[in-house]
Structure 1
């Protein structure tokens, strides 16, 4: 049995359409940030529910991580640049980081955002078993993880993405 001439092109077009649809969905479906509770150095208890409606930068770091220490002034500058527009930052110290070191670092550098110590490792585990530092996540106003950076981000590109996310409704 011979198929009509247009069958092969029609079949190819259908396969391409399905592929394009799947690619579009994967690009536009984002992982939702996990629900987490944490305690800041000042003793206040917070949760990720309080991030709703904000663009959040979650930075996993350690005082023993030279890249983390080097990038922290840029994390601070990013926070200061966007905080008045619905942007917030939380720095999550890894479970192996001595709390006294974290507190000293945050105080001596006057970190202007919340610093949590993930003493049980549960926050890092909730965000996909974060083990490498620095790992930074950018979360949109709907609570979706938009970008995951392992290592120091390109801060110019990060700022551009933050601008875009802040403009979203």
Structure 2
């Protein structure tokens, strides 16, 4: 009985510390200026005022492909509350476009040349080039959370959804 209580206290403390960290203002998001799959250049400032989920991925990365349907659902469900998922494909245009079509990606996909990826990923806090890698940027352009690996629904609800609160109906 006591062990279960201790586990719950530790879990609650961990949740509060994670939520507290996510709520703390972070550094300004690094600049980002990349072409999309159609060759049009985009800058991160285009989406200022939105909560951004900047997701670095590649067509040859199975965990990246696995998480895309969740990102598509998040974009569809929370767009009206100010969410913008921005995919940054560390890959060539053709395979990225194939994935966009086959998985129905409903958010912007920018193209990062693989040769340029180590420097840009390091600038975004990913010094070992691990993907998938996601950075959550608040409405003021500040980094609020970084995530290595697949961004699942539980992590989204803990780290992203609170930043969308107050922008429409309640979470759910």
Q: TM-score, normalised by structure 1?
A: 0.75
Deviates more, 1:116-125 or 1:40-49: 116-125
Distance 2:37 2:164 in 1: 27
Match of 1:15 in 2: none
Larger Rg: 1
How is 1:3-152 mapped onto 2 (pairs within 5 angstroms)? 28-94=24-90, 97-119=91-113, 120-121=116-117, 123-129=120-126, 131-152=129-150
Q: CA RMSD in A?
A: 2.2
Match of 1:159 in 2: 157
Total equivalences in the alignment: 143
Structure 1 residue ranges, 4+ long, deviating more than 3 angstroms after superposition: none
Instruction: State the Cα deviation string for residues 30-64 of structure 1 (Å, max 9, x = none).
Output: 12101111111122221111121100000000111
Deviation at 1:160, TM superposition (A): 4.0
Unaligned residue ranges in structure 1 (runs of 5+): 1-23
Q: TM-score, normalised by structure 2?
A: 0.74
Unaligned residue ranges in structure 2 (runs of 5+): 1-19, 168-172
Deviation at 1:152, TM superposition (A): 1.1
Distance 2:31 2:136 in 1: 15
